[in-house]
Structures are given as C-alpha cells and as structure tokens.
C-alpha cells in the first residue's frame, strides 16, 4: 500500500496547477544530470586530487555547491523513484531493485516493480504544461509494456535502457528509442563498436537542438562510472605511470562524463538558452568500490561506507545547481536535502504554489538566495538489500538501524554529523531521548508495501527477493 496521500494526486493535479502557471514559453529549461555510482569525493570540486573534472567544477564555481545533500536511496532503482515522485523510500512505489510480485525484466530476472498509473512523476506534470520531456540513459522504473515505461510516465522521448541490469554493459547489442528496439551494429557477440555513453551524449545534444525553441525537461541518468569499467580509450590517463589499468579506466570514465557536461553547457550557450536553463548535477548513490585499487581515489571522501550502506558514504552525494542569471556564482550551502526535494523545487521554480504529496521540501529559495539555511523535516531511508536497514537524519543527528530482516527491535546507532561526519562514534547510549525520536520517525515515515518488506514479517514465504 502506498502512502494515502496518493489518493489526493488528482487534487494536487494538473488542472489546478494550470491555473497557477504562466505562459509555458517563458518557463526555464530544466536539465538533471545524474551519474551512476559516482562518489562524493570523485569530483575535484569535492576534494578529488587525481581525476580531472573541470566542467563539473565550473558548474560549481558558476553556480551553487551543496555539502550536505543526499540521494533518495543507496542503490539504483529506488533512488530514481524518489527523484521522479518526490516521495522517500518509505512511501514511493519502487523501494528496491527487486521486489515481490514484480515482473520479469529484460535481463531475465523477476522482481522488477514498475511505477503505476497513479504514481505522479515530475515529467508528467511538466509535459502537461507544455514542456518537451526526454529521458536519456538508464530508467529502471518499468520494463517494456508495463505501466512504468518512461513514455507512459511523462517522457515524450526515451533513449537508453529500461532495465538496470542490462545497463551493466557499455557495448550492448541494442538500446531502446521510445518503444522501438535499436540494434547497435558492431556490438554483436560482445564486440566493442558503439559505446553507450557516447550515444547518450549525442542524443542529448540532438534533443536540445530539436527543442530549444520551447521549454524542455531533460533527465540524463547516465551509466558511468558504474562497473563494468570499459570504454573506448583511457584518454588523458593512458600514459599515467604507476596506475593500474582499472584505475586508468575509472578515472577516464569520470572525465568522460565531465566532458559531456561541458559539451551540454557549450551547446546551451551556442543556442542562446543557457541563461534560461537550470542544470542539476549529482550521483544516484555512493561509490561501488572504495577498497584495493580504488583506495587512491578516496571516492567516499571523509565518509564511512559505500553504495548500499546506510552511512554517509552510501547516500551523501555531490550536488551542484547552475543557472547563470538566477544563482549567484561561487556559492556554497550546507542546506540539508535529498532527491525528494527535486519535484517541489521545480514546482516553485515554475511559480506554482502547491501542497502536493511530497516528502521533500523546495530548495528554490536557497538557490536564489532568498532563504537562509534552515532545518527541514527528518530525511528518511529504508533499504531491503544486504541485511536490511533504515535511517533518518534530523538536524545534526543521524540514526541507523541495521539487520531489519531479522527483526525491528535491534540496536539503533546515533551519530552527531556536525562533530563526527565520518560516523566513527556511536553516541546512542548518551541520548536515549533521541533514540526514542528516531523510533517515532521510523514508525511514522514507513507505509507498508506489498512488494517490499522485512523477511521476518513473512517467514512463510519461500521466495527470495531483494538480493
């Protein structure tokens, strides 16, 4: 069962929004670029010393850098669901990469839960109000011919992968353009001729060229630097001494992403629309690897953990927003936020006042310098892989409860992120009142789902999922 506020979606709705929206032709373009498994510390703007990211750095120097921003989840599909719906993982439809009752995906594995018709997305709202909408890259929220297919969830144009497991290959035999399978000749039998990221970059520029005379929303969830670590060449890292092949490839993938960011900005400037475009840049979760050959990159920065973890390294992400006219250059903010903020933020940027069913808060005032940093309602995450966990951040405090597949009465860890951002010192014994507060948040922010639940709740089920 999804949060009861979903029943109010029609009231939130498109017809009421229309009364508040100005002429579409004057509205800003929105571009949201999301890397895949890019760590907080993988961008030089956030402390990276070895990998070059000059274009992303320039977005930060000409826009606003967030230091305390989070993904909606610690793994692929639920992070995207939170972003698209404005609902956190205790309420959004897709709460894990796999769930009970989900369909069989293109990679042949069951459990892919699609968005449903009643799950309102930001793309649906923007399309209704005259925006051209495109999703290029990795979707992960609905297989072909399901209710969650991107063309059914507000996107006029789709190019890329429906399925995140299919997206593990950068040289697949096919991609999708809307509902049509596009054969990538030269990639047969794992040959390496057409590289998906290059195709995504080209299609991005093509979409901008076709639609720059009207407002557009471009959602670009690319696949790099997710493993496999493969690409046409190692670029500027080819001749790096004392670097392993994997280190060269990883760095080259991040820099290739950076070059795509630069290419987009240059095209906007050439078309004369950069000054009416917001660009958001982030990652879908923390880094996938931090040990061994990846030690040299310090991808999670000062933070503990990595992808799939409840600790900061798993969910805190780089987040930069750029608009040359609306956002003061070179600003930095410690405003706490996460992916659930994107939907309400865009609504406010478009001049729409709404009390829609969002778990996030608009950050438009922070972006425009009209609102100071302020405390927001608790951020919440729940996660069904590994041993199961849930977490919340409220003010400077972070509470984490692990091992939820075994039961919900386990110890709750507590960290003071102001004094201990690396989450090295559990102070739960000193603050029993804060543990009680965390318990209340855990209870109030979780709505049961027929697709996702802790294993102890259905001991009789022989089906193994969420792994």
What domains sit in the chain, N to C, each tagged with a CATH number? Answer: 4-368 (3.40.720.10), 380-458 (3.30.1120.10)
Give residue 13's pLDDT: 46
pLDDT band for position 464 (cuts 50, 70, 90): very low
pLDDT digits (tens, 9 = 90+) for 429-442: 999 999 999 999 99
User: CA 350, 355, 357, 361 torsion: positive or negative?
Assistant: positive
Tell me the mean pLDDT in the region 137-163: 97
CB 336 within 8 A of CB 377: no
For residue 241, list its beta bridge partners.
Answer: none
The CA–CA distances, whole Å, from 289 to 7, 105, 424 equal 41, 26, 20
Q: Is residue 277 a contact partner of residue 297, using CB atoms and an 8 Å limit?
A: no
In 258-358, DSSP assigns E strands to 277-283, 319-322, 331-333, 337-338
What is the per-residue pLDDT for 465?
A: 47
Lowest mean pLDDT among 87-91, 164-168, 312-316, 397-401: 164-168
Contacts of 467 (CB under 8 A, 6+ apart): 98, 385
The pLDDT assigned to 415 comes to 98
Mean pLDDT of the chain: 92
Does position 459 have pLDDT exceeding 70, yes or no? no
Those residues whose C-beta lies under 8 Å from the C-beta of residue 129, and which sit 6 or more positions away, are 14, 17, 18, 21, 24, 27, 350
DSSP code, position 458: G
Q: What is the pLDDT at residue 239? A: 96
How is 198-267 classified by DSSP, letter by letter? Answer: HHHHHHHHHHHHHHTTS-EEEEEE--TTSSS---S--GGGTT-TT--HHHHHHHHHHHHHHHHHHHHHHH
**What is the mean predicted confidence (pLDDT) over 280-307?**
97
Output the pLDDT for position 22.
43
pLDDT tens-digit readout, 190-219: 889 999 999 999 999 999 999 999 999 999
Kindly state the percentage of the chain with pLDDT values over 90.
85
Give the position of tokens 């709740």: 457
* 27 in Cβ contact with 216 (< 8 Å): no
How far apart are alpha carbons 463 and 368 in whole angstroms?
Answer: 49
Element (H, E) at 398: strand 397-402
Read off the pLDDT of residues 214-235 as tens digits, 9 standing for 90 and up. 999 999 999 999 999 999 999 9
Q: Report cis status (omega within 30 of 0) of the bond before 225.
A: yes
Helices 54-62 and 245-271 meet at what angle, rounded to 10?
A: 50
Nearest-CA neighbor of 364 among 347, 340, 339? 347
Name 177's Cβ contacts closer than 8 Å, sequence gap at least 6: 158, 159
pLDDT at 167: 87
Statement: residue 25 has pLDDT above 90 = no
What is the tens place of the pLDDT at every residue in 356-383? 789 999 999 999 999 999 999 999 999 9
Mean pLDDT confidence for 333-341: 98
321: which residues sit within 8 A by CB, 6+ positions away?
63, 64, 66, 278, 279, 280, 281, 327, 367
Q: Which two tokens stand for residue 129?
A: 């109000």
- pLDDT bucket at 112, cuts 50 / 70 / 90: very high
Instruction: Give the N- to C-terminal CA distance of the chain in Å, as an integer.
Output: 22
For range 6-15, the mean pLDDT: 44
**In a 3-state reduction of DSSP, which class is residue 106?**
coil
């Amino acid at each position: 069962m999804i949060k009861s506020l979903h029943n109010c979606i029609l009231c939130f709705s498109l017809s009421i929004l229309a009364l508040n929206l100005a002429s579409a032709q004057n509205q800003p373009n929105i571009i949201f670029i999301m890397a895949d498994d890019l760590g907080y510390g993988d961008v030089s703007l956030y402390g990276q010393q070895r990998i070059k990211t000059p274009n992303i750095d320039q977005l930060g120097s000409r826009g606003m850098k967030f230091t305390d921003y989070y993904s909606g989840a610690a793994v692929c599909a639920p992070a995207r669901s939170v972003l698209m719906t404005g609902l956190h993982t205790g309420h959004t439809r897709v709460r894990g990469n796999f769930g009970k009752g989900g369909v069989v995906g293109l990679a042949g594995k069951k459990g892919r839960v699609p968005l449903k018709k009643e799950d309102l997305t930001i793309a649906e709202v923007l399309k209704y109000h005259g925006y051209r909408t495109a999703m290029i890259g990795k979707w992960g929220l609905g297989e072909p011919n399901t209710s969650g297919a991107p063309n059914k969830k507000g996107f006029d144009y789709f190019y890329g992968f429906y399925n995140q497991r299919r997206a593990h290959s950068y040289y697949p035999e096919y991609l999708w353009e809307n509902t049509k399978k596009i054969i990538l000749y030269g990639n047969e039998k794992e040959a390496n001729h057409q590289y998906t990221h290059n195709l995504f970059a080209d299609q991005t520029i093509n979409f901008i060229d076709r639609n720059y005379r009207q407002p557009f929303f471009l959602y670009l969830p690319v696949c790099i630097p997710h493993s496999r670590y493969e690409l046409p060449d190692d670029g500027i890292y080819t001749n790096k001494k004392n670097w392993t092949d994997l280190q060269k490839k990883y760095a080259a993938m991040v820099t290739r992403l950076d070059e795509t960011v630069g290419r987009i900005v240059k095209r906007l400037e050439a078309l004369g629309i950069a000054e009416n475009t917001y660009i958001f840049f982030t990652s879908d979760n923390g880094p996938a690897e931090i040990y061994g050959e990846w030690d040299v990159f310090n991808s999670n920065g000062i933070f503990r953990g990595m992808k799939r973890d409840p600790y900061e390294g798993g969910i805190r992400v780089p987040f930069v927003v750029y608009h040359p006219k609306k956002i003061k250059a070179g600003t930095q903010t410690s405003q706490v936020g996460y992916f659930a903020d994107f939907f309400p933020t865009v609504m406010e940027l478009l001049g729409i006042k709404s009390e829609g069913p969002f778990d996030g808060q608009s950050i438009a005032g922070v972006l425009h310098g009209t609102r100071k940093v302020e405390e927001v309602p608790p951020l919440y995450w729940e996660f069904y892989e590994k041993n199961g966990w849930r977490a919340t951040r409220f003010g400077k405090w972070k509470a984490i409860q692990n091992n939820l597949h075994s039961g919900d009465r386990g110890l709750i860890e507590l960290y003071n992120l102001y004094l201990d951002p690396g989450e090295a010192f559990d102070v739960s014994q000193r603050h029993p009142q804060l543990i009680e507060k965390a318990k209340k948040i855990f209870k109030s922010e979780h709505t049961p789902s027929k697709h996702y639940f802790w294993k102890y709740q259905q001991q009789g089920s022989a089906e193994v999922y969420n792994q």
